[in-house]
Amino acid sequence: MDARLPLTLNGWAWFGWLVYWIVAASDTHRTVKMESRLSRLQHGALMFGGFYMIFHHGNPFFYGRFYQLEWMRWLGDAFTAAGLLFSIWARVHLGKYWSGVITLKEGHKLITTGPYEWVRHPIYTGLITAAIGSAMAAETVDGFVGLVMIIAGCLVKLRREEALLTGQFGDEYAKFQRDVPMLLPIPRPSRP
Q: Which pLDDT tens digit goes with each residue over 22-32?
A: 888 776 655 55
Amino acid at 35: E
C-alpha–C-alpha distance, residues 50 and 167, integer Å: 30
How do residues 52-108 score in pLDDT, each as one tens digit?
Answer: 999 987 777 777 777 788 889 999 999 999 999 999 999 888 776 666 666 555 667
> What's the CA gap between 19 and 124, in Å, rounded?
18
Residue 2: pLDDT band by 50, 70, 90 thresholds? confident
Please tell me the predicted confidence (pLDDT) of residue 38: 76
Confidence (pLDDT) at 147: 97
The C-alpha atoms of residue 24 and residue 9 are separated, in whole angstroms, by 23
The DSSP secondary-structure symbol of 3 reads T
| Confidence at 21, pLDDT banded by 50, 70, 90 | confident
Q: What are the angstrom distances between the C-alpha of 159 and each of 5, 45, 77, 156?
A: 36, 16, 28, 5
Neighbour count for residue 153 (Cβ, 10 Å):
24
Residue type for position 76: G
Handedness of CA 145, 151, 152, 154 (dihedral sign): positive
pTM to 2 decimal places: 0.87
Tell me the per-residue pLDDT of 114-167, one tens digit each, with 9 for 90 and over: 899 899 899 999 999 999 999 999 999 999 999 999 999 999 989 988 888 888
* Distance between CA atoms of residues 162 and 143, nearest Å: 28
The CA–CA distances, whole Å, from 140 to 63, 75, 98, 114, 185 equal 8, 15, 34, 35, 28
pLDDT for residue 154: 93
Confidence (pLDDT) at 66: 78
DSSP conformational letter for 62: S
Interval 157-178 mean pLDDT = 86
Q: Look at residues 93, 101, 111, 120 and name the one whose alpha carbon lies nearest to residue 31.
A: 101
**Domain spans in the chain, listed from the N-terminal domain onward:** 5-22+36-179
The sign of the torsion formed by the CA atoms of 131, 146, 160, 39 equals: negative
CATH level 3 topology of 5-22+36-179: Four Helix Bundle (Hemerythrin (Met), subunit A) (1.20.120)
Please tell me the predicted confidence (pLDDT) of residue 100.
65
